[in-house]
């Protein structure tokens, strides 16, 4: 019996302490393959929802309120709150967790802060495996809150069923800047802090940017987590949306991240040379065998040059 099997057995019995320990191991990069192999390939029908947006837009406040909405509908919910990496300890700064209400007595709520390293598009390493663990536990809903992100930080779209993008009133030129990135991958756009001046105008601007002839319709709502406005309407829209992320594509992107991470851990700077090959593989421009041959060739040449 492997050393992790007793922990996995407790996890299968829905032991929350075992779940927390499992997530800690994943975050540390330990026992990843054993955990991945032990989880069911299709862990269940949980709906996975990302809440993303720039820093300061109020993601944590909104997620904290959505927990209550989801629980009010009789569904269990887990939250992965991606926090910036501490420059001192390398751990999560826990800012998101502090802004969420606690639910210590509610077995239907689980909240975990995880570190989002700089340059990782606002999400933690191995977050796909964390999500899979939460789905297998199982929780009905998994909310993934990204750290503050920018225009091109769209990696979370390949891990979730629905992307909720928050923008602030009076965003102005920032909306134009985001149009080629986050706005294009959002399934729902929320003008958050809608009690502030300019919310109605910002909602109109977002609609003009998104809902053009020939484009897929994207719901645009106003809400305020701080005031408790618009939350039931928002969650109703989230639940009504179809799961647009094909499982195969999601698995392929998750595998890409895993391969990139493993190569970086084992080969360091040499792994940079294979990044273009892996990206071409993820876009299906080369098949599996061709990609493997090119990766091996790049690593051999890199080692020879050294």
189-216 confidence digits (pLDDT tens)? 999 999 999 999 989 888 888 877 667 7
Residue with more model confidence, 207 or 101: 207
pLDDT at 216: 76
Q: Looking at the structure, tell me whether residues 208 and 60 fall in a common domain.
A: yes
- Quick check: 34 and 131 in contact, CB under 8 A? no
Residue with more model confidence, 104 or 35: 35
Q: Which residue has the tokens 């007793």?
A: 6
Residue with more model confidence, 138 or 262: 138
Q: Looking at the structure, tell me whether residues 169 and 82 fall in a common domain.
A: yes
Residue 224 in 3-state DSSP?
strand
First-residue to last-residue Cα distance in the chain: 41
Strand pairing of 77-84 and 47-53?
Answer: unpaired
Q: Looking at the structure, tell me whether residues 61 and 79 fall in a common domain.
A: yes
pLDDT band at 8 (very low <50, low <70, confident <90, very high): very high
- Quick check: 221 and 214 in contact, CB under 8 A? no
CATH of the domain at 169: 3.40.50.300
- Quick check: 64 and 55 in contact, CB under 8 A? no
Q: Looking at the structure, tell me whether residues 29 and 132 fall in a common domain.
A: no
Does residue 87 register a pLDDT over 80? Answer: no
Does residue 305 register a pLDDT over 60? Answer: no
Pair of tokens at residue 214: 């020939």
Pair of tokens at residue 124: 């933690």
pLDDT at 206: 87
Q: Select from 243, 264, 282 the last residue of a domain.
A: 243
Q: Select from 195, 225, 243 the last residue of a domain.
A: 243
Highest mean pLDDT out of 69-73, 153-157, 206-210? 69-73
Strands (E), the chain: 47-53, 77-84, 109-116, 141-145, 162-167, 188-191, 220-222
pLDDT band at 165 (very low <50, low <70, confident <90, very high): very high
Q: Looking at the structure, tell me whether residues 146 and 224 fall in a common domain.
A: yes
pLDDT at 166: 93
User: DSSP alpha helices (H): ranges in 214-287?
Assistant: 231-240, 247-267, 275-282
Does residue 296 register a pLDDT over 90? Answer: no
Enclosing domain of residue 125: 42-243
pTM of the model: 0.77
pLDDT band at 246 (very low <50, low <70, confident <90, very high): very low
Q: Looking at the structure, tell me whether residues 96 and 140 fall in a common domain.
A: yes
Mean pLDDT of 238-242: 91
Distances (CA, A) of 276 to 72, 234, 286: 46, 39, 11
Between CA 275 and CA 298 the distance in angstroms is 10
pLDDT at 68: 95
Q: Looking at the structure, tell me whether residues 156 and 25 fall in a common domain.
A: no
Q: Select from 209, 243, 277 the last residue of a domain.
A: 243
Pair of tokens at residue 269: 């700077």
Q: Looking at the structure, tell me whether residues 187 and 59 fall in a common domain.
A: yes
Q: Looking at the structure, tell me whether residues 259 and 117 fall in a common domain.
A: no
Q: Looking at the structure, tell me whether residues 259 and 182 fall in a common domain.
A: no
Does residue 92 register a pLDDT over 50? Answer: no
Between CA 253 and CA 235 the distance in angstroms is 27
pLDDT at 267: 78
* Helix orientation angle between 16-27 and 127-136, rounded to the nearest 10 degrees: 170
Count of CB atoms situated within 10 Å of the CB of 41: 8
- Mean pLDDT over all residues of the chain? 81
pLDDT at 83: 85
Q: Looking at the structure, tell me whether residues 188 and 81 fall in a common domain.
A: yes
pLDDT at 149: 64
Count of domains forming the chain: 3
- Quick check: 148 and 84 in contact, CB under 8 A? yes
Between CA 221 and CA 207 the distance in angstroms is 10
Residue 10 in 3-state DSSP?
helix
Q: Which residue has the tokens 């069911």?
A: 40
Mean pLDDT of 136-146: 95
Q: Looking at the structure, tell me whether residues 154 and 257 fall in a common domain.
A: no
Does residue 78 register a pLDDT over 60? Answer: yes
Does residue 102 register a pLDDT over 60? Answer: no
């Amino acid at each position: 019996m492997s050393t992790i099997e007793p922990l996995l057995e407790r996890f299968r019995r829905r032991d929350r302490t075992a779940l927390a320990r499992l997530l800690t191991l994943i975050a540390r990069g330990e026992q990843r393959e054993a955990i991945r192999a032990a989880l069911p390939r299709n862990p269940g029908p949980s709906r996975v929802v990302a809440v993303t947006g720039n820093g300061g837009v109020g993601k944590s406040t909104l997620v904290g309120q959505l927990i209550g909405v989801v629980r009010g509908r009789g569904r269990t919910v887990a939250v992965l709150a991606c926090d910036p990496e501490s420059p001192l300890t390398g751990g999560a700064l826990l800012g998101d967790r502090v802004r969420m209400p606690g639910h210590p007595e509610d077995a239907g709520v689980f909240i975990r802060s995880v570190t989002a390293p700089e340059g990782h598009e606002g999400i933690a390493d191995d977050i796909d495996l964390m999500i899979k663990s939460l789905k297998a536990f199982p929780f009905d809903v998994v909310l993934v809150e990204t750290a503050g992100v920018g225009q091109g930080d769209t990696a979370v779209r390949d891990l979730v069923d629905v992307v909720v993008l928050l923008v602030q009133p009076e965003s102005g030129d920032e909306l134009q800047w985001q149009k080629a990135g986050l706005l294009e991958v959002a399934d729902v756009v929320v003008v958050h802090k809608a009690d502030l001046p300019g919310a109605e105008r910002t909602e109109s601007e977002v609609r003009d940017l998104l809902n053009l002839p020939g484009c897929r319709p994207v719901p645009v709502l106003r809400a305020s987590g701080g005031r408790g406005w618009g939350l039931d309407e928002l969650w109703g829209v989230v639940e009504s949306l179809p799961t647009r992320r094909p499982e195969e594509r999601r698995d392929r992107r998750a595998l890409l991240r895993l391969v990139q991470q493993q190569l970086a851990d084992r080969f360091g700077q040499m792994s940079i040379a294979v990044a273009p090959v892996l990206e071409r593989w993820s876009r299906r421009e080369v098949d599996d065998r061709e990609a493997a041959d090119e990766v091996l060739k790049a690593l051999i040449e890199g080692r020879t040059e050294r």
